[in-house]
Amino acid sequence: MKSIFTLFISAFISLTITAQPQLSLGEITPVVGDIYNVYQADSAYSPGIGGSANMTWDFRSLNGYGQAYDYTVNYVTPSSTPDASYFPTSTVAESYPSNKGGTTYYKTSGNNVYMDGFTITVSGLGSVLVDINADNELIMTYPFTQGSNVADATITGTAYFFFVGPQTASISGNANTVADGYGTLLMPYGDTIKDVIRVLRNESYTATSTLGTTTINRTNIFFYATSSSTTTANKKFPLVAFYETNINGSSTKWVTSQLKMITGLDDLANTLEYIKVFPNPVKERINVNFSLANEAKVSITLKNNLGQNVSTLLATQQLNNGSHNYSIDNTFASGVYFLEIDVDGRKKVEKIILE
């Protein structure tokens, strides 16, 4: 009996040690009333690799654009949104600010979560609405753990382009979601979060209309805390998320984080004495004045609200100590932008509004 008991205990300990973290339906699925605050991060940052257990993702050098949250995502009743009539079976709507992604509609059935469709606003043009057909798009089946794979091979629907008529297009495509790793996430300011699951999602669509064919490929990588993780962040939502959308070969990337990131404010104090961006809001010309305490390599870049470079005010140059002035005409679309000054590899970001 002692031998059998010993074997039982050994087997139990072995199972406990090798138990994998998992995402569960009740723990991670948003409901009406949930709120998700995020920081905008450096869109050029690499999400690292997945593919195995007990990995470490080191994001301690991930740069952010400010000390306050950049925007809030609200989960609301679908009927409270302007386009609710297109999505009658949805149970919750994920509502972003219009310049951050629009609204996405979801429903839950058993252990499955489906996307019914989404709306987005294209700056300077108008809105686009994508309505997935009755079978919807399967995006997750719970529980979800290392190696879990959810595929939807036949996605169909209709896209409405309201800035060209409206123009309608038929949509076909496929999607795949896989948990391709778990381990520890290292974040700035000492945040070390264990039992994190990395989720990789690939989507591919073709939209066909009288205007031609549009190919859309989306790759999203999410890092989720699990029930065994210790963090102050909201576990229902990604700790860090990497998004990439490619439309007919043109790629857009952006990165978000629930946790505060490096902005370079403290590191620059001994070199960058001050920086002034004026006027703000900007109508005609962006003016930048700053002073260096020491000689340094400096670059100044204007980024849009997705973190993409839209203009370079100053390519990297070695500058002497003292005051410096740079300016550029405002020829850009109206909206929120970020002016990033890099001093010897340390960054400071100023938020500006262009009119």
Strand partners, 94: 75, 104
- pLDDT of 6 reads 44
Q: Is 317 exposed, middle or buried (0-12, 13-18, 19+ CB in 10 A)?
A: exposed
- pLDDT of 237 reads 92
Q: pTM of the predicted model, to two decimals?
A: 0.71
* CA 222 to the chain's CA centroid: 8
Q: What are phi and psi of 194, to 5 degrees?
A: -95, 165
Domains of the chain listed by start with CATH number: 22-257 (no CATH), 272-354 (2.60.40.2360)
Alpha helices in the chain (DSSP H): 2-18, 25-28
- pLDDT of 15 reads 40
Measure the CA–CA gap between 256 and 242, rounded to whole angstroms. Answer: 7
Instruction: From residue 161, give the alpha-carbon distance in Å to each of 62, 136, 169, 194.
Output: 36, 20, 8, 43
- pLDDT of 7 reads 42
Measure the CA–CA gap between 17 and 53, rounded to whole angstroms. Answer: 13
- 268-306 burial code (b ≥16 CB/10 A, e <16): beebbeebebeeeebeeebebebebeeebebbbbbbbbb
- pLDDT of 113 reads 92
- The encoded tokens of residue 202 equal 């690939």
- pLDDT of 13 reads 41
- The encoded tokens of residue 171 equal 């949509």
Measure the CA–CA gap between 348 and 288, rounded to whole angstroms. Answer: 13
Backbone φ/ψ region at 181: left (φ over 0), alpha (ψ -120 to 50), beta: left
Average pLDDT, 10 consecutive residues per value, the chain (355 residues): 43 50 88 89 85 89 67 91 90 80 87 89 66 83 92 89 75 93 88 94 90 87 94 91 85 84 60 84 91 88 80 91 91 87 79 88
- pLDDT of 145 reads 92
